[in-house]
Structure formats: C-alpha cells, structure tokens
Chain A
Amino acid sequence: MTEQIPIETLHPTIRMLSDEQIEAIHHASLDILSRTGIVMKNEVGRELLVDAGAWESEGRIKIPPHLVMDAIASASPRIPMFNRLGELTMPLEAGKVFFGPGSDCPFTIDSGTGQRRKATAEDVRRIAQLCDSLAQIDFTMSMGTPSDVPPLDHYLHSFISMIRGSVKPNVYTANNREDMEDIYRIACAVAGGQDELREKPFMLHYAEPISPLLYNDESVDKLLFCAEKGIPVTYPPSPNTGGGGPITLAGALALGNAESLVGLVLTQLVRPGTPFLYGMNTAALDMKSAIVSYGSPEWPLGMAACTDIARYYDLPVWGTAGATDSKVVDAQAGIEAAISIMSAFLTRCNLVHDVGYIEYGTTSSMEMLVVADEIIREVRYIMGGVEISERTLAREAIHRAKPGGGFLADDHTLDNWKWAQWRPELIDRMRYDRWVEKGRKDIATRANERARQILAEHQVPPLPEAAEEVIAEVLKEREDSAKRTT
C-alpha cells in the first residue's frame, strides 16, 4: 500500500487586524512622522535623520516615508539570540514565541518572609537563577532595581547579577553610554571578544523613547551605541491608552508604530542590518487609580495588533504577558497572566517580557514567575492542537472497549498516556482528603516552596574567569571615579 501523507495538525493562531486595518495604521504612522514630526534631543540622532532626508520644521524633525521604508527593507527579519555558553536558544523569528521576566522593579516579595521590600543586587541574581531553572522561561531581565548599590551603578550591577545568575540570554537596561560601554566590556569578556559577541549575541538592549514623540538624549545615545556595536536592541515606546497614547487603541497603535519605526530608522542609518526588535507597550492608563495597568486587556489586544503589524513589515516583535496589577499571587494574578500569555502565544509574538511582575510592575514576585511558568506550559500544550492520526483516532481501542467499562486499563491508554494528556506540575488536582493531609496549600504557597527549592538546589555554570576579572576592573574604576567626584 502506498504510504499516505499524515494529516497536518492545525496549530491555532489569531489575527487581530485585517490587511486593510494594518495598512490604515501604517499610513497614519507615516503621516505622523512626516507631518507632525518628532522631538529629537540627541544631536547625533538629529544629524543622522536630517542628513538622510528628514527636515526640521517648527522645532520638530519630520521624517519622509521613504526613510522608513528603506529602514524596514534593510532590517533583519530575525534575530538569533544565544545563551552565554554560545548555544542558539532563542531565534527571534516568525512563528516562535519566547518568554521572560521584566526589568527594574523597585520592590520584591521576599521569598522567605513574604514581605514586600526594596530589591537588592542579590535579588536580581536569585531571580536570574530561578529563571535559569524554569523550563518555560527563555531569557532573563533584571526584575529589580538594586537598592544596595550606588544609584548610578544599579544597571551595571543588575547586568552582572543577571549573567552570574543565569546562562540564558538576557534583555538589559542601562543608564547611559558609560553604562553601555562598561556592560559591553564585560559582555565581550564573557563571549570571548567583540567579534564573538557580535556573532553570538547573548544580550539584547532595551531602551525607550518617551511617548508621545519625545526622543530623549540618553535613550537615543544607547540605541546608537547598539547599532555601532551590532548589539541587538529593542526600542518600544509606551503609548499607554489615555496616558502616553490616545485613549483609543487604534490611535495608540498608530503613534506607537511611528515611534518604534523611528528607532528602527536610526539604527539602520548607523548600520544597515542592525538587529532591531520592533514593538510597543500598549497598556491602559487606569482612569481611576492612574496606574499603568499591566493586567489590562488593552495590552494583549494591542500586542496582537502590533504583532500583525510586525508581520506586515517582516520584523521580529516584542511583547508583554504574564504580569498582574494584583498585589499578591491570587485569582486576579492568574486571570491576568493566563489571558495575556494565551494571547502572546496565539499571536506568535516573538519575545514576551514582564512575566512575573505583580503590582502593575512595581514589585517582582518569584511565586508569580513559577505560576506563569506553569501557565506557559499549559498554554503551549493547547497550541499543540489536536493530532488526527491512526494512533490518536484509537479505532481498535474503541472497537474492543466494553460499553461503559472505560479505557483506563486499555493498552492504548497504557501505551499513549504519557504524551496524550498534559500533566500539571504546580496546579493541584489532588483528592480533597489528600490535599488536606498535604497541608491545604494554595498555589501561591506551592509556588513559594518550589521557588525556594530551586534556589537551594539549582546550579548555574560560573562566568569565565576572564569575565570576573573584567567585572572587578569595571567596579574598581566606578569606585575610584566616585571617590574623585566626592
């Protein structure tokens, strides 16, 4: 018999925007850039744009559509990201979805006491260690602003703590060009040199303009540094509806798209092909509390739309999920994380950050990270779709089953149960009596126990000695310069 071609499994996706809608947003964005214009505070950035064909009028830089289209054409549709051991673990490209935490929370929930307190450099390392162990977490971000180091050094210390705590690729933030240079020196020592770092980047820089339409000096400077050195970079604006962006999501998308594209244009003017991760943050500014809501449905809605736009441009895309406005890991946290993670997966957003944020991004929570890891695993199972094949149709098993007798002990069950069903790790399905016997623990308690166990047991390969030497040098130089200025 001729061997038949297997039936392909449909893996569900969603689209939020039609082609017509995408083009309408694209045109609105081009109009914003060429008619409204931006405010550029960085002199090099201003010169780059004007020399390439932008013009200045009424204190704004106005950017013609062809500059934008050239930049889209020269950008890479994919950014292969490596871990710090040189293995390709995070190819940011069409169809792939990767998750990780967010950066720079002033507070953390102490995993020992359960109290909310200021974050430290050691917290950043510990959270990186936790992320290193969690299978569904693909990259690290600092998750903390270390309160126990000099304020001007906190990004530097965050970076050091992240790479000590995890081998996974990281997304890092920095204060200014000096930070960027010091971090670059350390990263080169980790990778084994500048060329090695360019060929196998294990870090991606996150900087952002200020919505609406303001390009501050230092953020552009950091962006340009990345383009000069070939460091992958993302530059997502935050046109949060009603705050940095119009109250309507369409307006926020048009504005955010325009703002993100300026970042793309700048990087491509410095060096065509600079790996640029397109995207924007589209939270809602809550009209009661005035917080930027990390659990708002506008964000996943905007992320899905933004991912559709990225696909239109053939650019890799940045997104957000797994965060909550709740102050504790509770049902609200679960709802907000599950909806956003599901959306991220369905849209195939490539790099999804802020997993594990609670309190609208002000506080980091190891428990939330552990819960989100389970949510991601479950959602991934759903994305697998339904395999239709001879082994899954189970014709023989159905044929031999005793009506009413069930399939529990059937060979088909015993041969296929391991892959045919999803199995929870953190989610509880115990019978009531056993749950009582085991201490009546809710998911936050179990997540806390799991996090603490990982911190006690999980080993991370140390940094190369050469990297630790460069770290010591950099920290010494910082100390010396602090002494000189005081």
Chain B
Amino acid sequence: MDTKSHVLEQIASNLYKGEDDVVATLVQQSLDQGMAPAKILNGGLIAGMDEVGKDFKAGDLFVPEVLIAARAMHAGMNILRPLLAEGDVPSAGKYLIGTVQGDLHDIGKNLVKMMLEGAGFETIDLGTDVKPDAFVAAVREHQPQLIGMSALLTTTMPGMKATIEGLEEAGLRDTVKIMVGGAPVTAAFAEQIGADAYAPDAATAVDVARNLMGV
C-alpha cells in the first residue's frame, strides 16, 4: 500500500514538474505492477493536475508551466486511455466551448479549454467564428452541461446574447449552464445578457465551471 501510494505521489509530482517522459514511465511501471488504470488516473494524473491548477490560481505558476504539466498529463493519458473502461474516467463535466460569431480570436479560448481539460472536463471545441445556430446544433448533438463563449472584440460581444436567445428559442437554455469571458466582457455584461457566470481569466474559469457543476 505504501509503495503504491508512493508511486502515485511520484506521478503527481513529476506531472507537476512537466516531466512527460518520467510520467509515462511511471504510469507504465504502475500498470506492470498490477495497479488499476482508474486508480493511476485519479490518484496520480488528476491529483497532480489539481495541484497545478491550485498553484496557477494562487499566482505561483506561469501559463507555460501549466501547459507543460498538461503535456505530461497527456503522456500518461496516452498509455491509460485504451485500458480505461467506460465510466472509469470521472469526467468533471462536458464542456462546449467556442469564440462567438464574427470573432476569429483563438488563443484565450484555447487556454481556457486546456485548463478545463487539465481539471478533468471533457471539452468539445467549436473553434472560432461560431454562429448561434452552430452552438444550438452542437448542444443538441453533444448534450453538454456547460457552454463557454469567448469574445475579444466589443463588436462581437452581441454574438453571446444572440446565442443565448437561440438556445432559448430551441428550448435548450435550461439544459446547460452558460459562461462567458474575454477581454472586454464583464460580470455586469454576463448578467445583462442572461449568462450564468463570468470568468475573468483561465484559472478562474475552472473554478467557475466547477461551481456551476456543483462540485
């Protein structure tokens, strides 16, 4: 028991440091020793990523350090994924994300996506310049619990309101929680257009998403 938890701690701490090769080796070793894939995922990879998220939010880590840790998590996941049974992966929630119509800005949205994935969310990325209809169609298809909309331009912010109206018309508004963000977006604007929440940055977005999920 002690050695097992020791290995999991090593996986978590190496993931934190972004040592992708070491993480992959340790994950393989744990499997070889007969540890359950779900246990390695929860006790090692996700535990490590939680620490990363916590320290990023506290301002102790830089964005690339989070991304390097995420890269290490992927290295571990690539080994585990084929071995995980349905239901083994404890998804924190299904999250649909996109930059709204007329806006081609991708970078901030991608960062939020990566942070959410690191926190165990399953994400569906619609990309940029996503029309309200496309959001509605994707909600119908994927049935996410959460939607995140991003805008960098004041001129594209109305796209958020149009998307919410589209969901209302389609009768899907109550099936999802809606988050908005991006440089010109404010908490007041989020409230005004009927979104459920606003996140000022990528680290906060994870917390906000967890709150909306009731975690």
What residues of chain A have their CB less than 8 Å away from a CB belonging to chain B? Answer: 402, 404-406, 408-409, 411, 413-414, 417-418, 423, 430-434
The answer to whether B110 and A414 have CB atoms under 8 Å apart is: no
Q: A414-B71, A431-B200 are contacts. A406–B59 as well, Cβ < 8 Å?
A: no
Q: List 29 A-B contacts (CB under 8 A).
A: A404-B104, A404-B105, A405-B107, A405-B110, A408-B64, A408-B67, A408-B107, A408-B110, A408-B111, A409-B67, A409-B70, A409-B110, A409-B111, A413-B67, A414-B18, A414-B64, A414-B68, A414-B71, A417-B62, A417-B64, A418-B64, A423-B62, A430-B59, A431-B200, A433-B200, A433-B201, A433-B204, A434-B59, A434-B200
Query: B128 near A: Cβ within 8 Å?
Result: yes
A21–B128 Cα distance when bound, in Å, is 60
Beta-carbon nearest neighbor of A408 in chain B: B107
The answer to whether B200 and A406 have CB atoms under 8 Å apart is: no
Q: How does the 8 Å CB contact mask read for B85-117 relative to A, with 1 for contact and 0 for none?
A: 000000000000000000011110011001000
The answer to whether A414 and B59 have CB atoms under 8 Å apart is: no
Q: A404-B104, A404-B105, A408-B107 are contacts. A431–B201 as well, Cβ < 8 Å?
A: yes
Q: Which residues of B contact A402 (CB under 8 A)?
A: 106
Identify which of A404, A409, A413, A430 contacts B114 (C-beta below 8 A): A409
B142 nearest CB across to chain A (Å): 22
B185 nearest CB across to chain A (Å): 12
User: What DSSP secondary structure best describes chain B's contact surface?
Assistant: helix
Q: A414-B71, A433-B200 are contacts. A406–B107 as well, Cβ < 8 Å?
A: yes
The answer to whether A406 and B106 have CB atoms under 8 Å apart is: yes
The number of chain B residues with a CB under 8 A from chain A is 20
The answer to whether A404 and B106 have CB atoms under 8 Å apart is: yes
A402–B104 Cα distance when bound, in Å, is 12
The answer to whether B59 and A405 have CB atoms under 8 Å apart is: no
Q: How does the 8 Å CB contact mask read for B1-39 relative to A, with 1 for contact and 0 for none?
A: 000000000000000001000000000000000000000
Query: B63 near A: Cβ within 8 Å?
Result: yes
A402–B127 Cα distance when bound, in Å, is 11
Q: Which residues of A contact B18 (CB under 8 A)?
A: 414
The answer to whether A404 and B128 have CB atoms under 8 Å apart is: yes
Q: Which residues of A contact B62 (CB under 8 A)?
A: 417, 423
Q: Which residues of B contact A414 (CB under 8 A)?
A: 18, 64, 67-68, 71
A89–B62 Cα distance when bound, in Å, is 32
Q: Which residues of A contact B200 (CB under 8 A)?
A: 431-434
A95–B173 Cα distance when bound, in Å, is 67
B191 nearest CB across to chain A (Å): 15
Beta-carbon nearest neighbor of A411 in chain B: B71
Q: Which residues of A contact B201 (CB under 8 A)?
A: 431, 433-434
A409–B59 Cα distance when bound, in Å, is 19
A411–B201 Cα distance when bound, in Å, is 22
Q: Which residues of A contact B110 (CB under 8 A)?
A: 405-406, 408-409
Q: Which residues of B contact A432 (CB under 8 A)?
A: 200
Q: Which residues of A contact B64 (CB under 8 A)?
A: 408, 413-414, 417-418
Q: Which of B47-95 contact A (CB under 8 A)?
A: 59, 62-64, 67-68, 70-71
Q: Which residues of B contact A406 (CB under 8 A)?
A: 106-107, 110
A361–B18 Cα distance when bound, in Å, is 49
Beta-carbon nearest neighbor of B111 in chain A: A408
A40–B18 Cα distance when bound, in Å, is 69
Q: Which residues of B contact A417 (CB under 8 A)?
A: 62, 64
Q: Which residues of A contact B70 (CB under 8 A)?
A: 409
A130 nearest CB across to chain B (Å): 24
A147–B200 Cα distance when bound, in Å, is 52
A314–B107 Cα distance when bound, in Å, is 52
